[in-house]
Amino acid sequence: MANNMLARAEVTMAGPDDGLELQELMQDWGMGLAGEPEQHAIIKVEEKILAGGKITWLGETFFHLQLLAVRREARGQGLGGRLLLELIKKPWAYCHSSPASGCASYRVTTIARGEAAGFYRRYGFRNCHFSDLATIYREQCCHCPEREACRPVPMIYIQEVS
């Protein structure tokens, strides 16, 4: 079943009609939508959104993965990894505003919840310091009432062409 679902999983951009379902997915993990639904990449299988995420272009060759979520009942089937790989291999293709074409070398940062850090490491992210993040994201965890339970981990993925 899992392989069948993964084989049918295609990453696309959400449409305006996907907003409510995408919002419910994010809220299930204690997150909200970051911007408009159309700014989010999703995986739909049989017309149901099973995973969603948003990556933002910060300028030049810098991107930030704002959020990534997989429906609880679809976890463990490779959908989160499929979506994450697509977003970090071609981040410019999933940003609302970004360079028209790809970059040979670039960086993607994110803030993982403590328990999710291992997932991101499997896909090439490594721990970094909050000071390595863009200012807008650097301080978002400072005053969060859930910081202790979340245990945020700043992370970075570096794609370099030698």
CA atoms within 13 A on the CB side of 2: 10
* Residue 10 pLDDT greater than 90, yes or no: no
Q: What pLDDT does 2 receive?
A: 52
- The residue-averaged pLDDT of 139-161 equals 82
Please tell me whether residue 54 adopts helix, strand or coil conformation.
Answer: strand
- The residue-averaged pLDDT of 116-143 equals 90
- The residue-averaged pLDDT of 139-153 equals 77
Q: What pLDDT does 3 receive?
A: 57
CATH number for 91: 3.40.630.30
- Neighbour count for residue 121 (Cβ, 10 Å): 15
**More confident of the two residues 80 and 145:** 80
Full domain range(s) for residue 74: 2-159
**More confident of the two residues 99 and 92:** 92
Q: What pLDDT does 20 receive?
A: 94
Q: What pLDDT does 100 receive?
A: 58
For the stretch 37-74, what's the b/e string if a residue is b when 16 or more beta carbons lie within 10 angstroms of its beta carbon? bebbbbbbbeeebbbbbbbbbbeebbbbbbbbbbbeeb
User: What is the total count of domains within the chain?
Assistant: 1
Mean pLDDT for the chain? 87
CA distance 15 to 116: 27
Q: Which of 101, 88, 96, 31 is nearest to 57 (CA)?
A: 96
Percent of the chain with pLDDT over 70: 94
Q: Which of 75, 76, 94, 74 is nearest to 86 (CA)?
A: 94
